[in-house]
Amino acid sequence: MSYCWGAGSCGQLGLGEAASGAGPVRCRRGPEAGGGWTLLEAACGERHTLLLRPDGTVCSCGANARGQLGRKLRPGQRGGYTPEQIQALEAQIIVHVSCGKEHSLAVCNRGKVFSWGAGSEGQLGTGEFKEQSLIPKKIDGLSDLRIIQVTCGHYHSVALAQDGRVFSWGQNTHGQLGLGQEIPSQPSPQHITSLSGIPMAQVVAGGGHTFALSLSGAVYGWGRNNARQLGLNRANTREQVFKPYAVAALKTIGVVYISCGDEHTAVLTQDGSVFTFGDDSAGQLGHRSSTQMPGPQKVEWIDGPVSHLACGSYHTLVYMSTSGQVISFGRGPQRHIQNGTASNPGEQTQNFDISSLVSANDLSGVQVKMIFAGTYVNFVSTLQSQDLEHARGISPADTLQKIIRLDKTLIDKWMAVTVGTDDFQEAKREIAVIFSSPACLSASFFKPSSALEANCVGVDLQKARDVFDELTKKEWIVNQINYYLLADLIPGLPLRSPHREALSIFLLLPECSVMYKEQNLEPFVMRLAQAINSMSDRSSNILEKCWTSLSASFLDNVVQMFKKAVVSQLPFYASPRCRDIKPLLEVLEKLYRANRKANYTLQLSNFYIDEISGTFILPNDVARWRSWQATANSCHEDDVPVIFCRFPFIFNLVSKTQVFHFDSFFMQEGAKVEAQLILKQNELLRKSELPELPVFPLQVKRNNLVEDTLRKLSLVEDRVLQKQLLVQFEGELRGLDAGGVTLEFFLYVFEEMVNPQYGMFVYCDPASPMWFPTSPSVEKKKYFLFGILCGLSLFNRIIAFIPFPLAIFKKLLDKKPSLEDLKELSPVVGKSLQAVLDYEYDDIEENLQIHYCVSTSGSHYDTCPFHLLCTTVVTIAVTFEMLFASHGGLGALTLLMWYLEAFHVLTSVAYSFFFPPHAIQLRRQ
């Protein structure tokens, strides 16, 4: 049984010729053929209607000027006044129909699409701009796909495939195809690539605009926007949008269904609210305010949650299952009839109020299943007796076919299937679709929209990990997954998508255990790395942001996958094949950067590749690095072999130390080789000139060691510091220094300089580390020379005891020190402040009514009464910040200067290996 109402002058109500001439029809029982039949779905064009029955047959009625009925009328018949079956489709089981202004589409149970009617704009998708097609024809451009949804605009069509891809064809004057501004109208289906990877729940078209709704509730709109029917924000006043655009105003309201009119749009939310936007000239938005607000606005006056929603061209229809009420707002098309005559059949019915043809209680007591709206007519399908138990649970979203995805039922079926059976073949087909499609795989693990607000990771990674582990218990399933991941999914990854949902697939793949198998590291992980490095800057930034939101377990899983792939390629370091490692290292660098932005979710050691330490790779890699630095400006990046030293975050402390030592050794030995070459060259040329000494001889007085050393260092040029240091104490026998003299030199120099009596450093406690005095008693230049000495000791592979606290390295990295750092520097003060933080009672002010001061090097800084500072935890931060600042107003700056400058003077490798590239840079003063 069905109900209908409207102005069916062309027979589009299907009530017979007599009813079509009687003017607008109030709500009444729908058309009956052969004693009555059940309506499954109705689709309404401007002047024609398609009625789909549960048995898969399609009947049509209404105007047929462009062949939109899909059947021939009897001679002399102006329209199809009663529904009659479309004979050309009788061999098909049709499951879905849709109508444009004058064209029609139907989808059969095998996912094939048939089109007929007007085709001058290419809206039939048959590959030609044909004026009309009287008989339904299959769209060959979609024959390799299984289509689950179609929707028609006035002159364009859109289809959603089972694998999640969206296709469009027809007119593109307003960008309604979503293909871009330069693309003309298309006579055959075109893939909307900018939606690739997004798991879609619905596609819907208005007159000249189009929407797609994702499973997470994100709404994407494109096409005509002259009446703001796309719902874009106030600042976006474009009248045409040529590519899918995420509608921010609809992001958080939980949209579950969309319907479009000619120039207006209505959305239904999870809680049963209705939001409308666009043209309101006929009152179709339902906003009773005289002032129209831009963007989506809730229809506040609807009393109760809405179950069903449908938009006609100029009106909106809603149904509330709890009360059984049908509410219509808006009117029919408002067009003027010149001289009182109609230019087209049925023109006299154009000025009518379609909403007045139904009252809220007309369908009370009727178990409404679905509502359908067109330009002039509306239809209602009803539940049959066997379906009454679901009367309150059906929503329009439930009637839409969904893209295929993994669920427990499907997994259980696969695990139980017997190889060689029909079920086995069907399971293989299902695996092929899901594991070839980023959208389907992502859809299998999508979180509900309510869970996405605080976290940009839109997929349930733990569920994915568990499901993949379950599937890999069957060898034949593993083989199928391997094949389709490699053949289809990885090559089809969305590399330029600006939409976060599409990029969820990059988070899911590392959870698939097949990626970690030794034989899959090269074909799978390397290709994934190449794909990530090929992403657009915008997509790459979105992916890095998603990585920052991952918990430690899942982020580490990604890191370990790429590390394992790098380790598998280490044996090929000396071969040209080693270049394949570079994309892996570049992805690890992106992950390292994301981890840093996330305030180090993972320890730095998680990125270390320990297998590199102590191998032949390190000395060779340092040599490669120096060679690359010398020719970097003239060498194309593709021709550069892999150089691990360009990715210092993968080195542990041992490796970094080895790299530093190799680099300093090569520089020192290089100076000697250069001197030998010059010497031989001069001998051949019979020149008496001697080359510059290839070592740095430093002769100092033992009885005035520090001052003599600093004086001579201040006179040395920077390039001399990069040579091997040879120390000689004046007045002592000269001999071959095997390192003992140099070691003794640094031992005595540092022992004296770090002594508080020398005046360069102070100690808060005899057992605490040293820091900088507020008013140093030595000249500023000595701090720089102290830095040169520190660099020389490192450069000559001498380990020296310099008792700085951890806070000094935080200062180097421009990071704020913490209370723990204060405890290390000044245990008494640090522990006292910790006691304040740990105090549990509310009488802290009464117990600590005292003045206090910070004492540094004999100076005292009085502060306010302590109870005024103890009221917030911020006080503690202020206190130890002041301590560090007062101790090191000069010291922090000077320390940075000597440390960074010394490293820069001696070798560029030290700084880049021991400190990240964002640390403060200072000039020598």
**Fold observed for domain 2-398:** Methylamine Dehydrogenase; Chain H (2.130.10)
Question: What 3-state class would DSSP assign to 268?
Answer: strand
Distances (CA, A) of 839 to 832, 864, 865, 879: 11, 20, 18, 17
Length in residues, the chain = 925
Which pLDDT value is given to residue 887?
40
- CA-CA distance, 143 to 746, in Å (whole number)? 80
Q: Look-up: residue for tokens 């660098």?
A: 589
Q: Tell me what the mean pLDDT of segment 481-510 comes to.
A: 94
AA identity, residue 503:
L
Tell me the pairing of strands 113-118 and 103-108: antiparallel
Provide the token pair at 856.
């540094």
Q: Tell me what the mean pLDDT of segment 92-96 comes to.
A: 97
Q: Is a pLDDT exceeding 60 seen at residue 189?
A: yes
Which pLDDT value is given to residue 902?
44
Lowest-pLDDT range, 94-98, 395-399, 543-547? Answer: 395-399
Burial class from Cβ neighbours inside 10 Å (0-12, 13-18, 19+) for residue 637 reads: exposed
For residue 653, the 8-state DSSP code is H
The predicted-structure confidence for 398-427, as pLDDT tens digits, reads as follows 889 999 999 999 999 999 999 989 999 999
Q: How confident is the model at residue 808 (pLDDT cuts 50, 70, 90)?
A: confident
Q: How is 490-523 classified by DSSP, letter by letter?
A: TTT--SS---GGGGGHHHHGGG-GGGGSGGGIII
Which pLDDT value is given to residue 389?
53
Which pLDDT value is given to residue 849?
54
Lowest-pLDDT range, 9-23, 152-166, 307-321, 511-525? Answer: 9-23
Lowest-pLDDT range, 755-759, 802-806, 841-845? Answer: 841-845
Alpha helix (H) ranges present in 278-421? 396-399, 408-416
- Tally Cβ neighbours within 10 Å of residue 238: 12
Q: Is a pLDDT exceeding 80 seen at residue 542?
A: yes
State what percent of residues in the chain have pLDDT above 70: 85
CB of 67 within 8 A of CB of 123?
no
Q: Tell me what the mean pLDDT of segment 53-77 comes to.
A: 90
Provide the token pair at 415.
């695990």
Lowest-pLDDT range, 23-27, 125-129, 871-875? Answer: 871-875
Q: How confident is the model at residue 870 (pLDDT cuts 50, 70, 90)?
A: very low
E strand segments, 664-732: 695-700, 724-729
- Element spanning 85, H or E: strand 80-85
| β-bridge mates for residue 298, sequence order | 275
Which pLDDT value is given to residue 455?
53
Q: Is a pLDDT exceeding 60 seen at residue 917?
A: no
Give backbone dihedrals phi and psi of 218, rounded to 5 degrees, phi first.
Answer: -75, 140
Q: Is a pLDDT exceeding 60 seen at residue 889?
A: no
Distances (CA, A) of 385 to 38, 118, 910: 12, 39, 81
SS3 content of the chain, % helix, strand, coil (to 5): 40, 20, 40
Q: Tell me what the mean pLDDT of segment 581-591 comes to.
A: 95
- CA-CA distance, 39 to 362, in Å (whole number)? 19
Q: Is the pTM of this model over 0.85?
A: no
- CA-CA distance, 176 to 211, in Å (whole number)? 9
Q: Is the model more confident about 291 or about 432?
A: 432
Secondary structure in 3-state letters for 527-579: HHHHHHHCCCHHHHHHHHHHHHCCCHHHHHHHHHHHHHHHHHHHHHCCCHHHH
Q: Tell me what the mean pLDDT of segment 877-892 comes to.
A: 40
Question: What 3-state class would DSSP assign to 296?
Answer: coil
Q: Tell me what the mean pLDDT of segment 612-629 comes to.
A: 87
Q: Tell me what the mean pLDDT of segment 826-845 comes to.
A: 78
Provide the token pair at 537.
């800057």
- CA-CA distance, 377 to 78, in Å (whole number)? 19
Which pLDDT value is given to residue 867?
38
Which pLDDT value is given to residue 334?
56
Task: Enumerate the domain spans of the chain.
Answer: 2-398, 408-601
Q: Is a pLDDT exceeding 90 seen at residue 844?
A: no
Closest CA to 805 of 882, 895, 889, 693: 895
Lowest-pLDDT range, 602-611, 668-677, 872-881? Answer: 872-881
The predicted-structure confidence for 233-292, as pLDDT tens digits, reads as follows 767 778 899 999 999 999 889 999 999 999 999 999 999 999 999 999 999 999 977 667
Find how far residue 683's CA is from the centre of its chain.
66
Please state, rounded to an integer, the average pLDDT across all residues of the chain.
85
Q: How confident is the model at residue 454 (pLDDT cuts 50, 70, 90)?
A: very low
The predicted-structure confidence for 677-690, as pLDDT tens digits, reads as follows 999 998 888 888 88
CB of 543 within 8 A of CB of 532?
yes
Burial class from Cβ neighbours inside 10 Å (0-12, 13-18, 19+) for residue 535 reads: buried
Which pLDDT value is given to residue 519?
86
Which pLDDT value is given to residue 634?
72
Q: How confident is the model at residue 430 (pLDDT cuts 50, 70, 90)?
A: very high
Q: Is a pLDDT exceeding 60 seen at residue 669?
A: yes
The predicted-structure confidence for 305-355, as pLDDT tens digits, reads as follows 999 999 999 999 999 988 889 999 998 765 434 433 344 444 444 457 888
Provide the token pair at 34.
């052969």
AA identity, residue 666:
F
Q: How is 171-191 classified by DSSP, letter by letter?
A: --TTSTTSS-TT---EEEEEE
Closest CA to 305 of 289, 291, 317, 321: 321
Tell me the pairing of strands 264-269 and 255-260: antiparallel
The predicted-structure confidence for 204-247, as pLDDT tens digits, reads as follows 999 999 999 999 899 999 999 999 999 987 677 788 999 999 99
- CA-CA distance, 887 to 205, in Å (whole number)? 69
Provide the token pair at 260.
């479009």
Q: How is 334-364 classified by DSSP, letter by letter?
A: ----GGG--SSTTGGGSS--GGGG--TTTTT
Which pLDDT value is given to residue 872?
30
Provide the token pair at 646.
């360009």
Q: Is a pLDDT exceeding 90 seen at residue 826?
A: no
Q: Is a pLDDT exceeding 90 seen at residue 738?
A: no
Q: Is a pLDDT exceeding 80 seen at residue 651?
A: yes
Give buried/exposed letters for 292-330 (b at 16+ CB in 10 A, else e). eeebbbebeebeebbbbbbbbbbbbbbbbbeebbbbbbb
- CA-CA distance, 66 to 70, in Å (whole number)? 9
- Tally Cβ neighbours within 10 Å of residue 592: 20
